[in-house]
Amino acid sequence: MRFFVAVVPFLLCMISVSPAHAQVAWKLERGPSSVSFRVSHFYFTHIEGQFKSFRGTVVAPNEHSFANADVNVVIPVSSVYTGIRERDNNLQDEPFFWADQHPEMRFSSTAFEQHSDSTYTLMGDLTIRGITHPITLDVAYRGLQTSTDGMTHAFFNATGTLNRYDYGMQWNTVAEAGGFVVGEEVEIELTVALAAKLTDLATSVE
């Protein structure tokens, strides 16, 4: 009887902490991942670009489910690349990203809803130029893969839009034929590869 009195509390304690230890921390892999954007230019063309540098973490309930995962991403705006150096330099100036005062964009999730085995909706707060607004991304889960070194990888695609005016990037000019040169709406496309790194719930993206 004394054995059961001693063991039962121990088992209850183990059960209560096991869900936390089941969580998996993933790290964003820069090599196979990409952060791209697209905005209309003179109505009939588009400017396309990407950010060459970014870092992030995802803490998921377990290795096979990302429902309710916690997502945090940091993107240095100085890494913007559109293929034209002068334009890239302009994008870092005050009318746009204002890199001197606000060197990083940050995303922090508020919800990660699963709709099927392969579809999710990711909601969170995006901060650009020190201004924070909610954003929603449609996410397609592409599955898991184990590399030759035994590391588990997860793959996603995500798309969404934002209004750059919401973040103080309101520069524009009127084209000769009428209308504005650069569109307000910016299309976002993410290719995401994650590597399972830790199981101690480390979530820092510093």
Query: Mean pLDDT: which of 142-146, 147-151, 157-161 is highest?
Result: 157-161
- 18 lies in some domain: no
Residue that has been written with the tokens 């995802």 in this structure: 58
pLDDT tens string 27-66:
999 999 999 999 876 556 778 999 999 999 999 998 888 9
Retrieve residue 61's tokens: 């309930």
Handedness of CA 76, 34, 204, 197 (dihedral sign): negative
CATH number at residue 161: 2.40.128.110
Q: Does any domain span residue 160?
A: yes
If one compares 79 and 169, the residue with the highest pLDDT of the two is 79
* Selection from 124, 128, 112 nearest residue 169 by Cα: 128
End-to-end CA distance of the chain: 52
In a domain, 128, yes or no: yes
Query: Judging by DSSP bridges, how do beta strands 34-41 and 24-28 pair with one another?
Result: unpaired
Please count the structural domains in the chain.
Answer: 1
Residue span of the structural domain in which 86 resides: 29-198
Instruction: Assign 94 to helix, strand or coil.
Output: coil
Tens of pLDDT, residues 135-145: 999 999 999 99
48: in domain: yes
In a domain, 97, yes or no: yes
The answer to the question of residue 194 being in a domain is: yes
Residue 36 lies in a domain: yes
Beta strands in the chain (DSSP E): 24-28, 34-41, 45-51, 55-60, 70-76, 80-81, 104-114, 119-128, 131-146, 152-163, 182-198
Structural contact between residues 163 and 136, judged by C-beta atoms closer than 8 angstroms: no
**Is 21 within a domain?**
no
- Whether the model pTM is above 0.85: no
